[in-house]
C-alpha cells in the first residue's frame, strides 16, 4: 500500500502534483504570494486525476443507458443494421504502416463484430480522415472487421464524417432508402449519450438501440486507492469533460 501511494506521486500525473507541492513549499518559505496559485494548480490536477472524482464525474454519462447482453437483441434482429462510430486512430504505426485503431475504437469494433457474429447483420463503420492522418478511420475499422472474419460484403465504410454530428448525418443519409427498422448503435459508454442525441436529432424514423461499450470507470464503491492520482482516471475525466462540453454545444445549436 505504501509503495503504491509513493509511486503514484512519481508517475504521470502524480509527478506534476509532487513538483507543484515542492514549488508551493519553496514559495511559502520565501513568503511569496504565488503559493496559492500553485496550490490551486495542484488541487486541480489531483482532482482531475483521481478515481473518486471520475466515479462522480464520468459515471452519470456511462450509466445513462444500460449495458446490454448480446442475446437480448434477438427480438430486434430482423431488418436491423449495426453502426459502429469511429473512436480515433494512431497514424503511421511501425506495425501497421497506415495506422491502427485506438483502444477506444478497437473496443467499439470488437463489440460490433460480436453482434454481427450472433445475428449475421450488416455493419456500417463511420469515420473520416482526421487531422494528422492520411486515411479515413472507417477504412481501418473495416479492415479490422475483415481480420476478425467478417465477410467484406457485409461492411459499408462511411469515410467522410469528421465528428459525431456528421456520423449521424451521413449514416442516416445512406440508410434513407434502405429497409432497416433498427440501428444497433455501438460506441463508448461515455460517448453514447451525445451520439444518441445527434442520431435522434437527424431522424426519428428509425429505432436506435444504444449498445455502449469500453467503460472507463468501475461501478465499485470508492476505495482508498481511488484517492491516488492515476493516468487512467485523468483520461476518463478528460473524456467526460469533452462529452459534457459537446452536450452543451448540442443544446446551444439545436
- Per-residue pLDDT of 83-97, as tens digits, reads 999 999 888 777 666
Give 10-residue mean pLDDT values along the chain (254 residues): 63 69 75 69 85 95 91 75 94 74 95 94 94 86 95 96 95 90 95 96 89 93 89 91 89 86
Other Cβ atoms closer than 10 A to 235: 16
Sheet bearing 182-188, strands edge to edge = 155-158, 123-126, 80-85, 182-188, 207-213
Residues of the chain with CATH 3.40.50.620: 68-213
CB of 229 within 8 A of CB of 44? Answer: no
Q: What is the pLDDT of residue 77?
A: 65
CB of 186 within 8 A of CB of 112? Answer: yes
- The top-level CATH class assigned to 68-213 is alpha beta
CB of 37 within 8 A of CB of 72? Answer: no
C-alpha to C-alpha distance for 214 and 243, rounded to whole angstroms? 15
Picking from 93, 101, 87, the residue whose alpha carbon sits closest to that of residue 189 is: 87
C-alpha to C-alpha distance for 16 and 230, rounded to whole angstroms? 11
Picking from 84, 116, 92, 89, the residue whose alpha carbon sits closest to that of residue 102 is: 89
Q: Considering Cα of 152, then 154, then 155, then 156, what sign does the dihedral take?
A: positive
Picking from 213, 223, 192, the residue whose alpha carbon sits closest to that of residue 50 is: 223
- Per-residue pLDDT of 152-188, as tens digits, reads 999 999 999 999 999 999 999 999 888 888 999 999 9
Q: In sequence order, which ranges of the chain are alpha helices (DSSP H)? A: 2-8, 14-29, 35-48, 51-57, 59-62, 103-119, 137-148, 164-174, 189-202, 231-253
Other Cβ atoms closer than 10 A to 137: 28
CB of 182 within 8 A of CB of 206? Answer: yes
Amino acid at each position: 500500500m505504501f509503495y503504491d501511494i509513493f509511486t503514484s506521486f512519481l508517475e504521470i500525473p502524480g509527478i506534476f502534483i509532487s513538483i507543484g507541492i515542492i514549488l508551493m513549499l519553496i514559495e511559502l518559505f520565501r513568503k511569496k504570494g504565488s503559493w496559492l496559485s500553485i496550490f490551486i494548480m495542484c488541487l486541480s490536477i489531483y482532482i482531475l486525476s483521481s478515481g473518486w472524482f471520475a466515479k462522480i464525474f464520468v459515471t452519470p454519462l456511462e450509466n445513462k443507458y444500460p449495458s446490454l447482453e448480446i442475446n437480448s437483441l434477438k427480438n430486434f434482429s430482423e431488418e436491423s443494421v449495426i453502426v459502429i462510430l469511429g473512436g480515433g486512430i494512431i497514424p503511421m504505426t511501425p506495425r501497421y504502416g497506415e495506422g491502427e485503431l485506438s483502444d477506444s475504437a478497437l473496443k467499439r469494433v470488437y463489440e460490433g463484430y460480436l453482434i454481427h457474429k450472433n445475428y449475421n447483420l450488416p455493419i456500417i463503420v463511420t469515420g473520416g480522415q482526421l487531422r494528422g492522418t492520411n486515411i479515413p478511420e472507417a477504412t481501418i475499422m473495416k479492415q479490422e472487421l475483415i481480420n476478425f472474419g467478417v465477410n467484406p460484403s457485409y461492411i459499408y465504410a462511411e469515410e467522410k464524417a469528421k465528428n459525431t454530428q456528421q456520423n449521424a448525418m451521413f449514416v442516416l443519409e445512406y440508410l434513407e432508402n434502405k429497409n432497416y427498422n433498427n440501428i444497433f448503435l455501438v460506441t463508448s459508454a461515455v460517448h453514447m449519450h451525445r451520439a444518441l442525441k445527434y442520431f435522434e436529432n437527424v431522424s426519428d424514423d428509425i429505432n436506435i438501440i444504444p449498445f455502449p461499450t469500453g467503460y472507463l470507470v468501475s461501478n465499485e464503491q470508492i476505495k482508498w486507492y481511488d484517492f491516488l492520482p492515476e493516468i487512467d482516471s485523468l483520461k476518463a475525466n478528460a473524456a467526460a469533460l469533452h462529452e459534457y462540453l459537446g452536450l452543451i454545444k448540442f443544446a446551444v445549436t439545436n
